[in-house]
Amino acid sequence: MISERLRFAASAIPVFFNVLSSRFNTRAPVLKLDIFDRSDARLNSGEPHFFRVACRIAFLPQRDDHKPHRLCGHNLLLEDARMRSRTGIRLLDSDAMSLSGFSTGVSLHCHTQQSKEILDFIPYYAGKIPIVADFFRRELDRHESKNGWSIDFARAYWNPPVPPRAVLDSESEQIERTLGLSPIISITDHDHIGACSQLKAIYSDREMPISLEWTVPFEKGFFHLGVHNLPHEESEALWALLRGYTLNPAGPIELADLLEKLSGYEETLLVLNHPLWDIERIGQEPHLSLLTRFLKQHGSWIHAIEINGYRSWAENKRVIALADEYGYPLVSGGDRHGCDPNAMLNLTTANTFSEFAVQIRSDRMSEIAVMPAYREPLVIRMLEAAADVLRYYPGYPKGQRFWTDRIFWTLDDQTVRPLSSYWGHRGPVWVRASLSIMRLLGSRGLRPAMKTFLPREEEVGL
């Protein structure tokens, strides 16, 4: 929890003590990170708001369960580096963006229309919506009675509506025009590098990291890792290995081996995305237990933890505390799926993504800019993104214009068909009615009225 008073701690002494600790087995100096405020001004003041994560020392008994899963030379160096980690977060106002000293804005965690977003969450959430729940269950029962088989939503996926070049252009424009910085964009489609490879071929003279959001099965759940800046010459082979593990985690390659291999590329950055999101829908406590075991076994290969532009500020504050507890630097992750650019960015003096990765991995330093858009109510922003997904795009090629063109089913013979082949371009009446309401609520022109009726969310502040 962030104190309102300034708290300072030493950052150089822990490194010295950590060297000494290797000579002793009883009480070793264990680094803890502390968070202190730079300013208690309100958000609408002219001064950018940010906190820093600094270091303090606590002498605690040495415990075996604090050791990395694979305690080797690399991990020992990583533990030393974590002791020097420092993260700054600036809440930027549209009229007060003093960014002197930075040359580049980095946009992490963007999704394009090549990202495959699994729809297994549909029954869970549809069952919680009044009126829609009854129609949804009736439609599923009718389908099973007619066809003799039930719909498996885990075999369905949807594509975001925005093409790779449009994502690149909108992210770059925000950084250039709003922040006055040079842009670096890392697109992370789910388990796919096609958009990055295409853009790198188109813009051969531009900084274009090859990245993806990797689905990592773990025990009965899974996590999402942002894998940024794969080596270009090996990107296809590495992507095949990662995809293979996602599809068959019981295969011959162990997760620790893959993480070690990825981390061995010094210019590649591994980020644990939205770590506190119960994405498996197993309950918050079981998810936290799963996260603890994952970090205990594989955390030594993770370079940073993400605060996410589409998660609540309350959750992001808990992520800040998680990074504090485990000693990771934080990085931004916008997680855009619609037309609006990312609401969180990183600021850096690096000129390339490789240099930025070194700043995070080796220097353990990160500066995050929270854009004004993040301070808008999250419910409204999510409805607007959903409206983008459901919108008709007349300028798109045939087969991509309607929302039913962008939802797909994998059949028993592994062929894939769009939903439009079953429902046409509109769908059943009850679906059309539900989606019309959602489009209306997600209209950007309705935002002022929506803000009046929605309950107040926790104010974004440090």
pLDDT in tens, 233-260: 999 999 999 999 999 999 999 999 999 9
**E strand or H helix at 117, and its extent?**
strand 117-118
Q: CA torsion sign, 33 to 34 to 39 to 43?
A: positive
Domains detected in the chain: 13-85 (no CATH), 91-115+160-372 (3.20.20.140), 380-453 (no CATH)
pLDDT > 70 in the chain, percent: 77
The structure tokens listed for 291 are: 């996260």
pLDDT exceeds 90 at position 69? no
- Name the one residue in this structure whose structure tokens are 């808990």: 318
The mean of the pLDDT values for the chain is 80
| Residue range 387-418, pLDDT digits in tens | 999 899 999 999 999 999 999 988 888 899 99
Within 10 A of 400 (CB to CB), how many other CB atoms are there? 15
Instruction: Find the radius of gyration of the CA atoms of the chain.
Output: 23
Q: What DSSP designation does 380 have? A: H
Question: What local confidence, expressed as pLDDT, does residue 83 receive?
Answer: 53
- Name the pTM for this structure: 0.79
Q: What is the pLDDT, as a whole number, of residue 94?
A: 53
The per-residue pLDDT for range 88-144, each reduced to its tens digit, is 999 887 544 578 899 999 999 999 999 999 888 777 766 766 666 777 788 778 877
Which helix or strand (DSSP H or E) is residue 354 part of?
helix 353-361
Amino acid occupying residue 353: F
